[in-house]
Chains A and B, each alone.
Chain A
């Protein structure tokens, strides 16, 4: 079945540091890939997505590139801020959209000033 594996957290970075959160997936065909973010006390918010190989999703300075050859969708940001502290979830869905989202376990990011 479909699955998503994320790097274990927590990740602690200083403000303005470079962020990478690794995500790899197992799926048949060409799934759609997502990053969701969960700020403290809030629901999940879609951060970015990519629906086909080599697509790059981007939002709020975050980027992730759909790599079919390595089955990866790593999240990156060049300079993190304290306000980026949250839990980040990688997720996938089938390209047809008829299978539910499958989430990774989440990676907690703490950014310190």
Chain B
């Protein structure tokens, strides 16, 4: 059983650009959740996808969007990057929708916006 992987590890963008971050869930996990972890803070929930449909969203603007694919991979897209978007972005996969199942986190992608 492979773990959750994310790519790239690090990324540097400039304000106004767009970015796509990728996550590969554990095989068989139908749910992926994305979190933003600012420096010195705990992770904050962005949104969750279950079987390719958005299944809940945190307090993030629409320029944060996502996709989930049938092969257990997913993407987080951020448009019109702002300096405050600099953070570690974590994805977590789980078997079922909601948050009762254990979530398995990837190592994260560190995004720096200049």
- Give chain A's interface residues, CB within 8 Å of chain B: 4, 32, 36, 41-46, 89, 91, 93-94, 96-106
A42-B107, A43-B105 known; A98 vs B45 contact (CB < 8 Å): no
Contact residue range for chain B? Answer: 20 to 34
Annotate B38-58 by CB proximity to A: 1 below 8 A, 0 otherwise.
001111110010000000101
Known contacts A97-B98, A98-B98: does B103 contact A46 (CB below 8 Å)? yes
With A43-B4, A43-B90 known as contacts, the answer to whether A100 contacts B42 (CB < 8 A) is no
Q: Which residues of A contact B108 (CB under 8 A)?
A: 43
| B 79-114 binary contact with A (CB < 8 Å = 1; else 0) | 000000000001010000011111111111000000
- Bound-state CA distance A104–B98 (Å) is 20
Supposing A43-B90, A44-B105, A100-B33 touch, asked if A93 and B99 sit within 8 A by C-beta, the answer is yes
Residues of the A chain whose Cβ atoms lie less than 8 Å from the Cβ of B92: 43-44
A11 to chain B, nearest CB (A): 15
Q: A43-B4, A104-B42 are in contact. Are A98 and B90 (CB under 8 A)?
A: no
Q: Is the CB of B107 within 8 A of A100?
A: no
Provide the bound-state CA to CA distance between A100 and B32, in Å.
12
Closest to A101 in B: B99
